[in-house]
Amino acid sequence: MLETLKEEVYEANMQLPKLDLVTFTWGNVSGIDRDKGLFVIKPSGVPYDKLKPSDMVVVNLDGKVVEGDFNPSSDTPTHTYLYNHFKNIGGITHTHSPWGVAFAAAKMDIPAVSTTHADTFFGDIPCAPALSEEQIKEAYELNTGKVIVDEFENRGIDPDAVPAVLVSQHGPFTWGENPDKSVYNAKVLEVSAEISYHALQLTRDNIGVPQYLLDKHYYRKHGKNAYYGQSNAKSKDHMNEL
């Protein structure tokens, strides 16, 4: 079942250690088939060097395992809630990458202070509140998803334009159109967090990028008038010439 998606999710998970985004088993990636209403996620606690595509676990949008020999990631309820509420996303990544976690531990947004950030995230990456004792005891992972969605709704942030969040005292979650893109966004978040940290040590001035610069860098890569990179047609023609 969903063998192609399992392969995609496996490959995306294998990028996490390669990109220095995880230590030990501290992270996971999932990907969804919207037509079937099923998603595939990494099994819980299995070392990356032991993983195989066939180990990936298939879960429905009620959070129930449909296929798999292993328990799914302990963060499965968070992924389930995000897929049910952010309808355009096709993949989710969760890491404990250190620069992102540093901002989460400080309960701070990652500010947009550079075009590196603005190329991917249309504004600051929000930090959602820490969960209460009651929320943790009741349904920790499910309530993690709820505080993320609530934060975006309360702030009026478009999750397609800012495909990332920090959960206070926990860490980053990112998403994208597919599993691979969600990993890409996780790496950009980590780089942006490191840049922001160092910049904030150097000055107490307001160093947020102005809106016109944010607009320029975000929209040259996103939307109908994007012009960064090569069109599919041009790329194919170039490959034919080669």
How far is the C-alpha of 161 from the C-alpha of 158, rounded, in Å?
5
**CB neighbours of residue 202 within 10 Å:** 8
DSSP label at 91? E
Distances 26 to 33, 42, 86, 161, 183 between C-alpha atoms, Å: 24, 11, 24, 26, 14
Say how far apart CA 198 and CA 23 lie, in whole Å.
Answer: 23
Catalytic residues: 119, 228
Number of Cβ within 10 Å of residue 28's Cβ equals: 25
Closest Cα to residue 192, out of 208, 170, 176?
208
Q: How many CA atoms lie within 13 A of 13 on its CB side?
A: 32
